[in-house]
Chains A and B, each alone.
Chain A
Amino acid sequence: MAEAIHKKLQSELEKYQQMQKDVSKSMTSRQKLEAQLTENNIVKEELALLDSQNTVYKLIGPVLVKQDLDEAKATVSKRLEYINGEIQRYETLLKELERKSEQHREVLSSLQQEYQRAQAQNP
């Protein structure tokens, strides 16, 4: 009886750890997205400082490709929106994961209690 509980405990524990890893992964990707967000914001502002006389290039691989200033501005704005959307998505994902990990934690603690009781009864 105690053994069964013990095994269950172990499996639950592993699941919980896995969940924690997922949480941290999403956390890091979200942070990356945030960095990109700030960067693109700066680019947008700096493009605003330029005028059409300056040529704008985009680095695609090893190549600097000439771009139109207005095109560049539009592209940057679109990218900003995309990043914002991604961040939202990650937020919801993170919340879900958090909730699930909470549940798991409770399950774990109850299992632990059972296990201890079983241990107390049985040795």
Chain B
Amino acid sequence: MASTIHDQMAAAGKVKRSKYLPQGVERLKEEHRKVVKDCRSQFEHWKKVENDYESLQERLRTLPDKLSYDIMVPFGPLAFMPGKLVHTNELTVLLGDNWFAKCSAKQADALVEHRKKHVKNTLDDLQKVMKNFQNRADFTDDLEKLTGDTGDFVDIREEVINEEEVTKAKHRLAHKANSKPKQEYLLDLEEDKEKKEGDEEGTTGVLSEEELWARLDELERQEELQDERYRLDSTDTNGEDTTSSSEEEKEADGGSDVQVNGHQKENGWVPTSITSQMNGTNGSHPEDEEEEDCDEEAGNGLPTIYFSHTAEFKKVRINTGKNTTLKFSERNEQKAQAKRKKKSGKSNGHSPHESYKITSPADIYRVFVDLVNGEPIPRKSILKSRSRENSVCSDTSESSTADFEERRAAFGRSWSHDDATHSDTSDGITEEESPTGTSPHTNGCFEAFTSTVIEKDPLPCSIPHLTIAPPALPTIPERKLEEVGPEAPQEPPKWMSKFKATRLHQK
């Protein structure tokens, strides 16, 4: 039985290869229908057999009730004779293959049960085959509709040019045993960060304000695209959210050449899933920045939508001081708000140029601040966990800033750590509060570089400028007092980061 089906399929296949597509499809469908019909007839047959066995069982149960029955005995093919049915409990059963057995009615009943089981199995198999072929027939129907450009199917294509981009969207690969893609990504990030910072050091800081805003806008757009992609991926992978796990620091200045988007959508998706996903993403991001071209391609036989993604930023949760964790997007939004505020009028009467001259990494921290409760607050590095804020030995805690304040006051700068502001938008409250009126440029040069690597001696102590307290210093109060004097250069055996060295050089 199975081999006949295979024969038919083989025949259909061979025929199809040699004919045109529509004819082939027709023939295929015909073969499918034939198989299904076959299955149905066999199904009918076996159903009849089962019914026969059922009635037989009934008869077997009632037969031994009487010792003998008066019946009409068939006599040849055309006649009957009255007679008696005796030995009602003794039956000779055909077991198959010319084997017989004498048994009682009850034993015969058991045998019939056993046979019925076989029949049921056969019926089930037939059902499965029928369903299978029905599905195949339906699928060929769908296929025909798809290729014939009827129905609601739309081909959506995205041509990916840059294949090197590595994203978090590649987490399918990353969840394999070797999570190499993720490491690659991290590697890229660090490399790029360093590269970018090196660049910034090299240039003499002619990032004009307009360029900066343009860059910010672009980054915002990229981030929105990334949001949408995350949603896509999360639906793909059933809500795996990898954003919360990442705590990589993302410099907000144009620092990220990080190629974040190797989003490689497969082009061979089943059409229904494509449409549903497209609808989903369209619903969630009406202001999507994707470029969509609806091309009606006659040659394709199917309406095709071409679109492409622009490169985006990864969304990162950043630990930004005082128990606030802003998403990258939120930070950008704040920037946008502040930008609008700023554009409406120069509120503080300062030229905005100073705050955007980024010559050293420290400038970053000065420039990019959060607006929390209307107050600009410096962003702490995300490498510093919140728990450290309350630790005694760390400078991240606000309690320890009191010591700093004293010392800073000693240097002629009345600026509480709390109010240390790096507003990129409301221009430089730093500038406003600077009583010394040091030029903003030099101010920028000598900002402390907040890194865990440096500075057992806090730089602000040694330089008569105001800087933000390096948050990650494990300084101890006694030690600070010791190093009040300008001693930074006098610790020769200590390793110094190149930024610090440059700074000291510039002094």
Contacts and interface: CB of A to CB of B under 8 A. Distances in A.
Given A45-B114, A54-B107, A57-B92, A79 B97 contact: yes
Given A49-B110, A49-B111, A55 B101 contact: yes
Interface string B79-116: 00000000000001001111111110001001100110
Looking at chain A's contact residues, is the secondary structure mostly helix, strand, loop, or mixed?
helix
A46 interface: yes
Interface stretch (A3-11, A36-44, A106-114): A36-44
Contact of A57 (B100, B111, B114, B118): B100
Contacts of B98: 58-60
Q: For chain B, which range describes its interface: under 10, 10 to 19, 20 to 34, or 35 or more residues? A: 10 to 19
A58 B100 contact: yes
Contact of B101 (A39, A47, A60, A79): A47
A58 B110 CA distance: 21
Contacts of A64: 100
B3 interface: yes
B99 A54 contact: no
A58 B99 contact: yes
B103 A43 contact: no
A31 interface: yes
Contacts of A46: 95-96, 101, 111, 114-115
Given A42-B115, A46-B114, A54-B107, A59 B100 contact: yes
A43 B114 CA distance: 11
Given A42-B115, A42-B118, A57 B3 contact: no
Nearest to A47: B95
B96 A42 contact: yes
A27 B6 CA distance: 12
Contacts of A39: 96-97
Contacts of B114: 42, 45-46, 49
5 closest cross-chain pairs (CB), A and B: A59-B98, A57-B100, A43-B96, A39-B96, A43-B95
Interface of B: 3, 92, 95-103, 107, 110-111, 114-115, 118
Given A46-B114, A54-B107, 9 more contacts: A46-B96, A49-B107, A49-B110, A49-B111, A55-B102, A56-B102, A57-B92, A58-B99, A76-B99
